[in-house]
Structure 1
Amino acid sequence: MRALILAAALAVLAAPAGADDYTWLLPEPALFCPIGANVMPIRILADRGIVIDGLACEGVRLEGGRVWAKSCVGNGSAAVDYDTDLVVSPSGALTHDGVRFLRRGGPAPCPAG
């Protein structure tokens, strides 16, 4: 039994560094609309990218209430790194810049107000 436990522990330690993928923390792809604020919506993309603050980002990493992306572009601009706050609640709602965002059940755009 000890040999089995030791083998399992070694297998975990030998896991590739690529296991550092935090995109699984993102909700399923959807449009998230702001509640009570006139700000841009957030979109989680099927390729595990995100559109936030008007920037389309790929290579997203979500950890500790922050989202980082190695490549974000907006309106034809050059690609930039991006780091901002983003909290995913257990209910699946998002909080960004003090605004709560809920998943939109219907088609875009988000309702006014």
Structure 2
Amino acid sequence: MRALFLALLATAPAAAAEPQPAPGRYCAAGQDLPGISIGPGRGVGIDLMDCPIATIARGRVRAARCYGMGGAEVPYDADLVVRPDGSLEHDGALFRPCHR
């Protein structure tokens, strides 16, 4: 029975890896909004919050602890979609890598 289970597991298609944003700074396209920073590591800067350890999955960004203005420490959970072209969608706005 175990051998059958292992054989089925080996032939099952691998789950598609969810796209992750490339590290860097993203600017709102055509809008004056605070940018989004991805990295280093699992860090995310979003909505003027600094989240040193965040998870981006299933269209959300979540962190148990982020730091806001004045050093306020809060959890964070918001929408953040990684689009196929690598741009980001957040709170109804499109964010693309910043160009200087």
Give the TM-score normalised by structure 2: 0.77
- 1: CA distance, partners of 2:30 / 2:89: 12
Structure 1 residue 73: Cα displacement: 0.2
Q: Is 2:62 the partner of 1:68?
A: yes
Deviation >3 Å, runs of 4+ = 2-5, 7-10
* Contact 2:42-2:55 within 8 A present in 1 as well: no
Structure 2 unaligned blocks of 5 or more = 11-16
Percentage of pairs with the same residue: 41
**1:40 alignment partner in structure 2:** 34
Question: How many residues of Structure 1 are paired with residues of Structure 2 in the alignment?
Answer: 93
Q: Cα 1:105–1:4, aligned 2, differ >3 Å: closer, same or farther?
A: farther
Deviations 1:9-30 (A, max 9, x none): 49xxxxxxxxxxx9x7431210
Structure 1 residue 75: Cα displacement: 3.0
**1:3 alignment partner in structure 2:** 3
1:59 partner SS: coil
Question: What is the root-mean-square deviation of aligned Cα atoms in Å?
Answer: 2.6
Give the TM-score normalised by structure 1: 0.69
Moved more, 80-89 or 67-76: 67-76
Deviations 1:44-79 (A, max 9, x none): 011221000000002212222111111100234232
User: Which amino acid in the other structure matches residue 34 of structure 2?
Assistant: M
